[in-house]
Amino acid sequence: MSEPVLSVRDAQLTLGSRTLWSGLDLDIRPGEFVAVLGANGSGKTSLLKAILGQHPLASGEIRFEGAPVHRGDRRIGYIPQQRGQDPAMLIRGRDLVALGVDGHRFGLPLPTRERKERIDSLLDAVGASHYSRVPVAMLSGGEQQRLRVGQALAGDPTLVLCDEPLGSLDLRAQRVVSELIDRHRRERGFGVLFVTHDVNPVLGMVDRVLYLAGGRFRIGTPDEVLTSEVLSELYQAPVDVIRSHGRVVIVGAPDTSHHHHEHEAVHP
Amino acid sequence: MTDWWTQLFDFSDYGALLALLHNSILAGAVLGIAGGLIGVFVMTRDLAFAVHGISELSFAGAAAGLLFGIGVVEGSILGSLIAAVIIGLLGARARERNSITAVLMPFGLGLGILCLALYPGRASTKFGLLTGQIVAVDDPKLGALAVVSGVVVLGLLIMWRPLSFASLDPEVAAARGIPVRGLSIVFMLLLGLAVAASIQIVGALLVLSILVTPAAAALRISSSPLWVPILSMAFATVSLVGGIMLALGSSVPISPYVTTISFLIYVVCRLAGRRMRVRRTLGTREVVTV
């Protein structure tokens, strides 16, 4: 088996005096798709922030490609949730992808042929070529998220972090965007850590799930983790997991919502 | 009626006046380029209100500079930078930024009025700081404006890409390791300089017509990363130089001319932009799918 691209060891994350989770061990191998599930405030997004070097761990360590994580690794791609109010609405699709290509460099973006070809190939890879000159504000949520995937691919990532990338999308767009991410991780072999409140759109794609609840966690295949016994133990409350027509419905999970606090940590 | 007209527009001896005030026109052109360019980021970073706040503190600085004999330009730069740093440090989020700005603004205006009230010199100089003036820009003042504008333009060109990334897409930029906060502080300093330079020509109350209106107009008719800054610079320069040239022979301050041209450009762009948007929506909706 190949070396893990991401390796989390005995990690503990705190927000003020509150421990979000502790003792977390997680390895992600190249090409592996791991979904991160759990209630609001369980520390899903904070885990991504810790991997991005934006939120230091209370203890333990996170290594990316063998080295401790630091702020701004170009080999980590990041796909945020689609939001209607972003200033990115002011630009065109191809300019959003271009930010991923060379937005970190100083100076003006000089229109070289190499740059144009790079942007065109990324747009092509996510099927966004035909609307690349339309202002982002005029695109649907699904179209915008395809551009986000193209933007994340720009750094030739070995790991892609997705923070609710399907949030506020309709069902059809959810399928299209998750299949796009799935296809590229198979073709390009990058690991995916996919934070989502609903596992169903990616249920057929994920290799493993990490379920965070009440400061505890469980990692395993969906079949191992998404059961009434496991989740009841995690939540320390009776939880029913119902499977019907290939979908998973979780009933009775107490919402340990401290959403606001988490939000403050997310945007310091 | 004819009285008003000759007060507003008087082109007799125009050639002689033009020669006399060519420094003002040059200053307008230099300022148009710097103001139009930074205006694009003012729009994408949602800083229009902060610009207004900075300009009031810059006015206070200019008035203090006048009173204490430090110099109007030096005073206004100092006031601007202090305001820009305070707003930059305390107002990372839009909501906080707006309240900090709203708190600073009347304080700055009050300080400025106090300094002007204590200043024994000519009343027109005092009024000019708020509403702009068409005084002959002497060589040292033109030099100062050119240096300040040059620093603003050069600074923006150097950090163009990371600043664009941080302004347009802050969440992903931060994930990619762009120093979003550091860039924001440097940008606020450049903005402070641009405000201080603009005040010398259009006055503290009307700075928005140079730092916001041209960029807002450009964004109505284009989304291109190349054309928005070029159009914004062109609009700001046309407003300033056109305003100065129309105001040359009149006894009215320069600012109404500048603000009117700038406003008319915006109105035209808004109307043109709506037609373009409708056409583009009709043209692309069929081919664009999820």
Using the Cβ of B174 and the Cβ atoms of chain A, whether some distance falls under 8 Å is answered with: yes
Using the Cβ of A66 and the Cβ atoms of chain B, whether some distance falls under 8 Å is answered with: no
Name residues 36-65 of chain B within 8 A of A (Cβ): 43-46
Using the Cβ of A116 and the Cβ atoms of chain B, whether some distance falls under 8 Å is answered with: no
Interface test with A, best of B161, B227, B281 (most A CBs within 10 A): B161
pLDDT digits (tens, 9 = 90+) for B185-231: 999 999 999 999 998 888 888 899 999 999 999 999 999 999 999 99
The Cα of B231 is separated from the nearest Cα of chain A by a number of Å equal to 15
Using the Cβ of B281 and the Cβ atoms of chain A, whether some distance falls under 8 Å is answered with: yes
What is the structure's pLDDT at A228? 92
Report pTM.
0.89
ipTM of model: 0.89
Tell if the CB–CB gap between A131 and B284 is shorter than 8 Å.
yes
Q: Is residue B289 part of a domain?
A: no
Q: What is the band of B124 on the pLDDT scale with cuts at 50, 70, 90?
A: low
What is the structure's pLDDT at B11? 72
Of A54, A87, A161, nearest to B46 by CB-CB distance is A87
In chain B, what residues touch A135 (CB-CB under 8 Å)?
223
What are the residues whose beta carbons fall under 8 Å from the beta carbon of A206, sequence distance 6 or more?
Answer: A33, A34, A35, A194, A199, A222
Three-state DSSP class for residue A147: helix
The Cα of B12 is separated from the nearest Cα of chain A by a number of Å equal to 45
Q: What is the band of B280 on the pLDDT scale with cuts at 50, 70, 90?
A: low
Nearest residue on chain B to A155, judged by CA atoms?
B176
What are the residues whose beta carbons fall under 8 Å from the beta carbon of B285, sequence distance 6 or more?
Answer: none
Of B93, B167, B280, nearest to A87 by CB-CB distance is B167
Tell if the CB–CB gap between A103 and B176 is shorter than 8 Å.
yes
Q: Is the Cβ–Cβ distance between B112 and B59 less than 8 Å?
A: yes
Counting Cβ atoms within 10 Å, is residue A15 exposed (0-12), middle (13-18) or buried (19+)? middle
Nearest residue on chain A to B278, judged by CA atoms?
A138
Q: Is residue B290 part of a domain?
A: no
Rounded Cα gap, residues B15 and A44, in angstroms: 70
What is the structure's pLDDT at A31? 95
Over residues B105-134, the mean pLDDT reads 82
What Å distances lie between residue B286 and A91, A130, A131, A133, CA to CA?
21, 11, 11, 15
Q: What is the band of B2 on the pLDDT scale with cuts at 50, 70, 90?
A: low
β-strands A33-38, A216-220 pairing: unpaired
- % of chain A beyond a pLDDT of 90: 71
Using the Cβ of B74 and the Cβ atoms of chain A, whether some distance falls under 8 Å is answered with: no
Q: Is residue B178 part of a domain?
A: yes
Q: Is the Cβ–Cβ distance between B197 and B32 less than 8 Å?
A: no
Domain ranges of chain A: 6-266
What is the structure's pLDDT at B288? 43
What are the residues whose beta carbons fall under 8 Å from the beta carbon of A194, sequence distance 6 or more?
Answer: A33, A34, A35, A36, A162, A165, A181, A202, A206
Mean pLDDT of chain B: 87
In chain B, what residues touch A108 (CB-CB under 8 Å)?
157, 160-161
pLDDT digits (tens, 9 = 90+) for B137-165: 788 889 999 999 999 999 999 999 999 99
Rounded Cα gap, residues B12 and B260, in angstroms: 22
> Which H/E stretch holds residue A67?
strand A67-68
Using the Cβ of B182 and the Cβ atoms of chain A, whether some distance falls under 8 Å is answered with: no
The CATH number of the domain where B237 resides is what? Answer: 1.10.3470.10
Q: Is the Cβ–Cβ distance between A134 and B284 less than 8 Å?
A: yes
Q: Is the Cβ–Cβ distance between A8 and A25 less than 8 Å?
A: yes
Query: Per-residue pLDDT for B236 more than 70?
Result: yes
- List beta partners, residue A34: A193, A208
Alpha helices in chain A (DSSP H): 44-51, 93-102, 113-125, 141-153, 171-188, 222-225, 228-235, 259-266
In chain B, what residues touch A91 (CB-CB under 8 Å)?
168, 223, 225
Using the Cβ of A171 and the Cβ atoms of chain B, whether some distance falls under 8 Å is answered with: no
Rounded Cα gap, residues A191 and B210, in angstroms: 48
- % of chain B beyond a pLDDT of 90: 60
Domain count, chain B: 1
Q: Is residue B207 part of a domain?
A: yes
- State which residues form the domain around B203: 2-284
Alpha helices in chain B (DSSP H): 2-8, 14-20, 22-44, 48-67, 72-90, 94-118, 123-131, 139-158, 160-168, 170-175, 180-202, 208-211, 213-221, 227-247, 255-284
Q: Is the Cβ–Cβ distance between A78 and A152 less than 8 Å?
A: yes
Query: Per-residue pLDDT for B16 more than 70?
Result: yes
Structure tokens at B222: 């284009």
Tell if the CB–CB gap between B157 and A108 is shorter than 8 Å.
yes
CATH of A6-266, one of 3.20.20.70, 3.40.50.300, 3.40.50.460, 3.10.150.10: 3.40.50.300
In chain B, what residues touch A148 (CB-CB under 8 Å)?
172
What is the structure's pLDDT at B45? 93
Q: Is the Cβ–Cβ distance between A157 and A115 less than 8 Å?
A: no
Using the Cβ of A179 and the Cβ atoms of chain B, whether some distance falls under 8 Å is answered with: no
Residues of chain A falling short of pLDDT 70 = 1, 255-268
Three-state DSSP class for residue A101: helix
Nearest residue on chain A to B166, judged by CA atoms?
A103
Using the Cβ of B270 and the Cβ atoms of chain A, whether some distance falls under 8 Å is answered with: no
